Amino acid sequence: MKRGTLYGVGLGPGAADLMTLRALDCLRKVDCIILPRKDEKSSSVSWNIAEESVGLIPGQERLFLSFPMSRDPKVTTRAWNVAVKEIRDRIFAGKSVAFISVGDPFIYSSFIYLYEHAQKSWPEIEIKVIPGVSSISAAPIAAGVPVADGRERIAIIPAVYNKDDLRTIIRMFDTIILMKASSVMPEIVEVIESEGLMDKSIYVASATMDKEQIVTDIRTIKGKRGMYFSMVVIAKKDHSGVLFGNGV
């Protein structure tokens, strides 16, 4: 029997109209959309982004799957085993299945685990990945901070580092984007302050979503934890790549 295609679909950072035309087209055509959520009591953050534009498609299945946020491998393994079985059943029955991700499916997304599993375990199936606008683009725009001009270097680091490490990276790069900053915000602010970069740092949570939050003076949140989709953008802007006249 012909296998279905597995799609990893990036939805963009949160605003419904920041989906791509390709993502929307895919989600309107597939047999099944997987709606990832934290647990059975939660809604799906990613489906909340897509729902308005995708609308109701007759005959399309929308399947909630739970991915608990846990550091216990037993808990995450159990959830992934369920998810993989549900997805496999449909694909091997010839159905196309889309797994939706906030942002981009290849940047800090759970889709990566599914992709790697599918490649290894189901080599005969076709996998298509549709890129999305990442919060790496969207958060700096929300904050009004250009990420990098022609000569600048960008470091993107998730909140799993020690302070010395963070200090080294901050010194080596022009723009530093600290992802998933929520739990380590106090430590991040401490390092930023000691590096003298308080005025070059902006906190952004839930960029482009309704509950977007931007803090340009991070002194005001010193000692506080951040929200779930939160990040810090440090842009030194010590130099500029092109010079042009100011005559206009």
Query: What does DSSP say about strands 61-66 and 32-37: parallel, antiparallel, or unpaired?
Result: parallel
Q: Between 146 and 186, name the residue whose CB sits nearer to its own copies.
A: 146
CB of 15 to its own copies, least distance (A): 7
> In the complex with its own copies, which residue's Cβ is closer, 176 or 192?
176
Report the largest interatomic distance among the alpha carbons of the chain, rounded to a whole angstrom: 69
Q: How far is the CB of 179 from its own copies (least distance, A)?
A: 9
Residues 91-130 that bind its own copies (CB under 8 A): 104-108, 110, 112-113, 115-117, 121, 129-130
Residue 3 beta carbon to its own copies: minimum distance, rounded to whole angstroms: 15
Of the candidate residues 47, 173, 203, 229, the single one contacting its own copies (CB under 8 A)? 173
CB of 223 to its own copies, least distance (A): 25
- Looking at 9, 19, 50, 54, which residue binds its own copies (CB under 8 A)? 19
Tell me if 7 contacts its own copies by CB under 8 A.
Answer: no
Size of the site for its own copies (CB under 8 A): 76
What's the one-letter identity of residue 65? L
The one among 3, 57, 131, 197 contacting its own copies by CB under 8 A = 131
Q: Kindly state the smallest distance separating residue 222's Cβ from its own copies, in Å.
A: 25
Told to check if 221 binds its own copies by CB under 8 A, we report: no
- By CB under 8 A, what part of segment 33-92 binds its own copies? 53, 73, 76-77, 80-81, 84-85, 88
Please name the residues in contact with 37: beta carbons below 8 A apart, sequence gap of 6 or more.
43, 44, 45, 47, 64, 65, 66, 67
CB-wise, 96 or 175, nearer to its own copies?
Answer: 175
The residue to which tokens 């380590």 are assigned? 184
Select the span of 22-30, 58-66, 187-195, 216-224 touching its own copies (CB under 8 A): 22-30
Q: Identify any residues that bridge with 101 across adjacent strands, giving them in sequence order.
A: 10
Structure tokens at 76: 């995450």
Adjacency order of strands within the sheet including 127-130 = 61-66, 32-37, 97-101, 6-10, 127-130
CB-CB contact of 137 with 147 (8 Å): yes
β-pairing verdict for 230-235 and 201-205 = antiparallel
Instruction: Indicate which single residue of 57, 63, 125, 157 sits in contact with its own copies (rule: CB under 8 A).
Output: 157
Task: Please report, for residues 35, 101, 111, 173, 246, the alpha-carbon distance to residue 83 in angstroms, rounded to integers and kept in the order given.
Answer: 11, 15, 11, 39, 58
DSSP class of 62? E
